[in-house]
């Protein structure tokens, strides 16, 4: 993959949030007037939304509109003045560019996304566009997917424990593998009990954990997961990113392109 690096700022090391902002602002430089954008979800993508809002209010990006990947992004984009379109309305104009963060990026620019629970809408919208620019800080670069945390799988609520069992069976005998249903504290009561996390689509999330990341053919693993009845989608975004912008701790920015 090709890369280019910008010069570091005169100050010292940046905080992680500052790194996210640097990467997000660099990604927004790809946006041109009249574009329809896929608007990502998460703390890094939020900086891109703020920057887009600033440029729109300044009149620098006339005709730009966005398709949000979550209800949270929809609310944020509306608050900063980004005109919004539903995915079906955007299909005629074509999504020219999507901008979003990622939980992990491997050397081939495959991604783990959706630890915040928005993976299905993210994959639908970002997969519908012409270009997908991913914005991360260097802590998200990994040798293999699944090295730093969960790989999420969205499942329908009906029979979710059964579907969880089928996912576990898929990796039966793999040392260090485990999977669980994501839960959150109940909104009522203080007895410490939990309930399943519910996505914007009304589904549940199964979290898969690997001791040292996923080894093997990722596309084959993807296909096997998607053949499980009850699985809606998973958080491996394979071959989707066209550009990854990485903000390094020393303030430099690397722009990496997908291998041809």
Q: Give DSSP secondary structure letters for 40-86.
A: --SHHHHHHHHHHHHHHHTTSSTT-EEEESSHHHHHHHHHTT--B--
Do 136 and 183 lie in one domain? The reply is no
**Closest CA relative to residue 101, chosen from 113, 109, 110, 84:** 113
Residue 16's H or E segment, with its range, is helix 16-28
- Residues 114, 106: Cα–Cα separation, whole Å: 16
- Number of structural domains in the chain: 2
Is residue 258 assigned to a domain?
no
Determine the pLDDT at residue 64. 97
- Give the whole-number percent of the chain exceeding pLDDT 90: 84
* Cβ burial, residue 224 (10 Å; 0-12/13-18/19+): middle
On whether residue 130 sits in a domain, the answer given is: yes
- The reported pLDDT for the residue numbered 23 is 94
Instruction: Report DSSP state, residue 248.
Output: -
Q: Are residues 115 and 174 in the same domain?
A: no
Q: Same domain, yes or no, for 21 and 125?
A: yes
Q: Are residues 183 and 215 both part of a single domain?
A: yes
Which of 74, 122, 126, 233 is catalytic? The answer is 122
Position 10 scores a pLDDT of 46
Q: Judge if 51 and 134 occupy the same domain.
A: yes
Q: What is the CATH number of the domain that holds 124?
A: 3.40.50.1360
Average pLDDT for 202-219? 96
Domain co-membership, 175 together with 119: no
* Domain that includes residue 133, residue range: 16-142+239-250
Residue 28 reports pLDDT greater than 60: yes
Is 205 domain-assigned? yes
Residues 165, 114 share a domain:
no
Task: Kindly indicate the confidence band of residue 189, based on its pLDDT and cuts at 50, 70 and 90.
Answer: low
Decide if 49 is inside a domain.
yes
Tell me, yes or no, whether 102 lies in a domain.
Answer: yes
Per-residue pLDDT averaged across 97-116, rounded?
97
Tokens encoding 259 = 């291998």
**Amino acid 91: pLDDT:** 58
Instruction: Tell me whether residue 39 is in a domain.
Output: yes
CATH number where 171 lies: 3.30.70.260
pLDDT recorded at residue 7:
42
Do 244 and 219 share a domain, yes or no?
no
186 and 120 within one domain: no
Does 233 qualify as catalytic in the annotation?
A: no
pLDDT digits (tens, 9 = 90+) for 120-145: 999 999 999 999 999 999 999 999 99
Is 164 within the bounds of a domain? yes
Mean pLDDT confidence for 7-19: 70
Average pLDDT in the 17-30 region?
94
Domain-located, residue 106: yes
Judge whether residue 259 has pLDDT over 90: no
Least confident window among 7-11, 129-133, 136-140, 237-241: 7-11
Q: Closest by alpha carbon to 134, among 45, 46, 8, 218?
A: 45
In this structure, are 40 and 64 located in the same domain? yes
Q: Is the pTM of this model over 0.75?
A: yes
Q: Do both 45 and 82 map to the same domain?
A: yes
Which H or E run includes 128?
none
- Give the tens place of pLDDT for each residue, 54-85: 999 999 999 999 999 999 999 999 999 999 99
Q: At what angle do helices 218-226 and 160-170 cross, to 10 degrees?
A: 150
Q: Are residues 87 and 67 in contact, defined by beta-carbon separation less than 8 angstroms?
A: yes
Pair (137, 246) in one structural domain:
yes
Residue 187: pLDDT band (50, 70, 90) is confident
């Amino acid at each position: 993959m090709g890369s280019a690096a910008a010069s570091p700022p005169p100050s010292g090391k940046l905080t992680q949030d500052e790194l996210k902002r640097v990467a997000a602002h660099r990604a927004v430089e790809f946006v041109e007037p009249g574009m329809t954008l896929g608007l990502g979800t998460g703390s890094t993508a939020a900086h891109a939304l703020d920057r887009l809002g600033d440029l729109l209010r300044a009149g620098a990006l006339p005709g730009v509109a966005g398709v949000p990947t979550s209800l949270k992004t929809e609310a944020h984009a509306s608050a900063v003045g980004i005109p919004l379109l539903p995915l079906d309305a955007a299909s005629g104009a074509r999504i020219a560019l999507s901008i979003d963060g990622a939980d992990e990026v491997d050397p081939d620019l495959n991604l783990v996304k959706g630890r915040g629970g928005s993976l299905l809408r993210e994959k639908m919208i970002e997969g519908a566009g012409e270009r997908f620019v991913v914005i991360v800080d260097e802590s998200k670069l990994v040798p293999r997917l699944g090295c730093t945390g969960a790989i999420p799988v969205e499942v329908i609520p009906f029979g979710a424990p059964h579907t969880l069992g089928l996912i576990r069976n898929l990796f039966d005998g793999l040392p260090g593998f485990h999977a669980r249903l994501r839960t959150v504290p109940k909104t009522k009561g203080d007895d410490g009990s939990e309930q399943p996390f519910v996505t914007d689509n009304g589904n549940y999330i199964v979290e898969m954990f690997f001791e040292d990341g996923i080894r093997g053919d990722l596309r084959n693993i993807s296909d096997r997961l998607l053949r499980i009845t009850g699985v809606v989608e998973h958080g491996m975004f394979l071959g989707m990113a066209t550009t990854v912008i990485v903000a390094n701790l020393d303030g430099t920015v690397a722009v990496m392109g997908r291998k041809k």
